[in-house]
Amino acid sequence: MKKVSFKQQLLIELGITLGLFLLLQVLMNLGVITTYWKGIFITICINVILTVSLNITSGFLGELALGHAGFMAAGAYIAAVFSKSIALIPSVEFPLALLIGGLFAMLLGYLVSIPTLRLRGDYLAIITLAFGEIVRNVLLNIKFTGGAGGYSSIPKYTTFPWTFFLAAACVLLSRSLINSRQGRAIISIREDEIAAESSGIDTNKYKKLAFVYSAFFAGIAGALYAHYMGFLQPAYFNLDKSIEILVMCVLGGMGNITGSIISASILTILPEALRQIADYRMLVYSVVLIVMMLVKYAPQFQGLLAKFKHQKEEEA
Amino acid sequence: MSGVVMFFMQIINGLNIGSIYALIALGYTMVYGIAKLINFAHGDIIMVGAYLSLVLLNTGMHWSIATLLSILGCALLGFTMEKVAYKPLRKASRISLLITAIGMSYLLQNSFQLIFSANPKPYPAFINLPSLKLGSITISSNYYTTFIVSVLLMILLTLFVKKTKMGKAMRSVAEDEGAARLMGINVDHTISLTFIIGTGLAAVAGILYSNCYTIISPTMGSLPGIKAFIAAVLGGIGSIPGAVLGGFILGMIETLVKAYISSQLADTIVFLILILMLVFKPAGILGKNVREKV
């Protein structure tokens, strides 16, 4: 088989992305895809951004981050406050709001990364969890954004092309990050932090980079969500939301961007398509987490898998 | 009510919630010390204990038997949880264990939500001793029972770990699993035993907690669980006296913040304490700084 160069692959992927976008856009314009499904597609794109960005910290850096909803909330609220208090033309205001949402989340990501650098994985999970809860608690107590009652009448700027291309940009950027020198440094920390450090990799710097990057996109996803719903409530950004993103990340495969896209799409559509089992959603998620981990890492299952593969090879 | 009396009342409140945190934190700290795992599902064991005892009490069972059975039920659950979900992953990466633990926590919460519905249920409190009067301060029986039972259990646990052979095995596994195995200690049994004791304590905490607040719900365990974890970190994770100390300190801080600063910001402040603690003294108050070996 001829090896496809990176550039060629990029072109192919760009082609597929554009083609998919045009197809969806035409179908939407023709009314084949209803407004209801258009909403689902927007949610899918937002979830893709969230999942792919979480995958950078949890999948590639190998640190369990449980505060993704917190970054999302921060980005959502800041962007919403910005676009409500400033009156510019929407085509200028919206990108600015998105950027501000992303940058603010990025700043928080930087702040969170400082204490976590000194800590091992387990503590990091707890710190990010605490961070997410702090953000939610603070939002509940800010009178200015409506507290628990919610922040309403945010201009609804989010459209399908915006979310689609931002999701595509997030995927593309993440993939090039991972294939770059910086990305390899991040992966080396996951594989063996001490070995990475001894090889001269500034582990602190790359951990910060992964954190800040992931927070930035979570903030953008939040800003998109805010301008899509037009209404924000702190309760939405609870631990369940962070876990939901984690489930998408785990199901698609930690450290697999394509997997993240697929699982984010499936896990967004499934609960919509199967309304009657909506009550079981979180239960199914929890089972997914446990089973995925056992199948992937437990020696008993690996033995079984190896046996299965061996049998298949023999048959063939 | 004068300021001084009010302050003493708050101290008693703090001791009450603190002793519950300490009981839960003990389970966290023991499991972490031995299996190097933050058992996220530990908080949900409190909820399981509360529901088990509710169901048993509703059958008309005497409270002592109901309590004993719920503790046994939770211990069995802890044992199974370890065997099914955690043991196969003992050699896998830390992150996969953590994810499994989160999965377990959600599995417990959501299955109980399906069985008992998400609505909170009233809990028939059974601690009905006369309340204690100290001058102008009245201490209800729940409060002093919780305190006495917790302190008693803590003393028993410390004696168990310090004096018995099994306790010695636990300490040695926590210190160096490989060396312990070479000395002929059955590591698997020791880890199972730790889970059984930890979850048993959590069940007691759950029952005491429900007696104080008399309302239980499937998500009741998650917040006390996280706070107890913070308490364990505060005291120095892996250390038994540390967990007790951390539990009481955290209970105190939380109650005083609620009373004198802001009841809404109490959780935020507790979480901030965790972050500050981890920044400035990650080993905790009584913990030892352990360097990672290559």
Chain centroid offset of residue A276 CA: 27
**Is A21 domain-assigned?**
no
| A315 and A237 fall within a common domain | no
Share of chain B above pLDDT 70, in %: 97
For residue B72, count other CB atoms closer than 10 A to its CB: 14
pLDDT at A130 over 80: yes
What is the predicted pLDDT for the residue at A42?
A: 93
Total domain count, chain A: 2
For residue A30, count other CB atoms closer than 10 A to its CB: 8
- Tell me the mean pLDDT in the region A47-60: 94
Kind and range of the H or E run holding B139: strand B137-139
Least confidently predicted of A15-24, A276-285, B7-16: A276-285
| A127 and A257 fall within a common domain | yes
What contacts B79, CB < 8 A, 6 or more positions away?
B192, B195, B196, B199
Q: How far apart are CA A279 and CA B14, in angstroms?
A: 37
Beta bridge partners of B81: none
What is the predicted pLDDT for the residue at A316?
A: 59
| A289 and A239 fall within a common domain | no
What contacts A254, CB < 8 A, 6 or more positions away?
A55, A58, A59, B95
pLDDT at B294 over 60: no
| A210 and A242 fall within a common domain | yes
Q: How far apart are CA A27 and CA A189, in angstroms?
A: 44
| A163 and A288 fall within a common domain | no
- Select the residue from B31, B40, B82, B100 to test the A interface by mutation, using most A Cβ atoms within 10 A: B100
Which residues from chain B sit within 8 angstroms of residue A254, using beta carbons?
95
Least confidently predicted of A16-20, B74-78, B283-287: B283-287
Which residues from chain A sit within 8 angstroms of residue B275, using beta carbons?
115, 127, 130-131
| A139 and A287 fall within a common domain | no
pLDDT at B291 over 60: no
How far is residue A118 from each of residues A11, A114, A115, B275, B280, measured CA to CA in Å?
41, 8, 6, 12, 10
How far is residue A84 from each of residues A43, A81, B94, measured CA to CA in Å?
22, 5, 44
| A183 and A291 fall within a common domain | no
What is the predicted pLDDT for the residue at B290?
A: 59
What is the predicted pLDDT for the residue at A143?
A: 84
Condensed to tens digits (0 to 9), the pLDDT of residues A162-181 reads 999 999 999 999 998 999 99
Which residues from chain A sit within 8 angstroms of residue B89, using beta carbons?
293-294, 297-298
Condensed to tens digits (0 to 9), the pLDDT of residues A208-259 reads 999 999 999 999 999 999 999 999 999 999 888 998 899 899 888 888 899 9
Condensed to tens digits (0 to 9), the pLDDT of residues B99-118 reads 899 999 999 999 999 999 88
**Is A1 domain-assigned?**
no
| A265 and A287 fall within a common domain | no
| A90 and A224 fall within a common domain | yes
What is the predicted pLDDT for the residue at B255?
A: 92
Q: Is A140 on the interface with B (CB under 8 A)?
A: yes
Kind and range of the H or E run holding B132: strand B132-134
What is the predicted pLDDT for the residue at B118?
A: 86
| A163 and A295 fall within a common domain | no
Helices (H) and strands (E) in chain B, counts: 11, 4
What is the predicted pLDDT for the residue at B78?
A: 94
pLDDT at A136 over 70: yes
What single string gives the DSSP state of each residue in A106-156?
HHHHHHHHHHHTTS-HHHHHHHHHHHHHHHHHHHHH-TTTTGGG-B-----
**Is A163 domain-assigned?**
yes
Q: What mean pLDDT value characterizes chain A?
A: 88
Which residues from chain A sit within 8 angstroms of residue B271, using beta carbons?
130-131, 133-134, 137
Of the CA atoms within 13 Å of residue A268, those in its CB half-sphere come to 23
| A61 and A156 fall within a common domain | yes
Q: How far apart are CA A219 and CA A189, in angstroms?
A: 25
Contact check, Cβ <8 Å, B106/A115: no
Between B2 and A266, the more confident residue is A266
Residue B103 identity: G
**Is A10 domain-assigned?**
no
Contact check, Cβ <8 Å, A64/B99: yes
Between B51 and B291, the more confident residue is B51
What is the predicted pLDDT for the residue at A48?
A: 95
Chain centroid offset of residue B174 CA: 19
What is the predicted pLDDT for the residue at B210?
A: 92
Q: How many residues does chain B have?
A: 294
What is the predicted pLDDT for the residue at A118?
A: 73
What chain B holds in terms of domains, given with CATH numbers, is 3-280 (1.10.3470)
Structural domain range at position A299: 280-316
Residue indicated by tokens 């509710």: B54
Q: How far apart are CA B18 and CA B244, in angstroms?
A: 8
> Under the phi-then-psi rule, with left for phi > 0, alpha for psi from -120 to 50, and beta for the rest, what region is B61?
beta
Confidence of residue B214 (pLDDT cuts 50, 70, 90): confident
Q: Which residue of B has its CA nearest to A249?
A: B99
* Residue among A123, A194, A283 whose CB faces B111 most closely: A283
- Tell me the mean pLDDT in the region B9-37: 89
Q: What mean pLDDT value characterizes chain B?
A: 88
Burial A246-284 (b: 16+ CB within 10 A, else e): bbbbbbbbbbebebbbbbbbebbeeeeeeeeeeeebbbb
**Is A29 domain-assigned?**
no
Condensed to tens digits (0 to 9), the pLDDT of residues B227-284 reads 998 898 888 888 888 899 999 999 999 999 988 888 888 888 888 888 888 888 877 7
| A138 and A161 fall within a common domain | yes
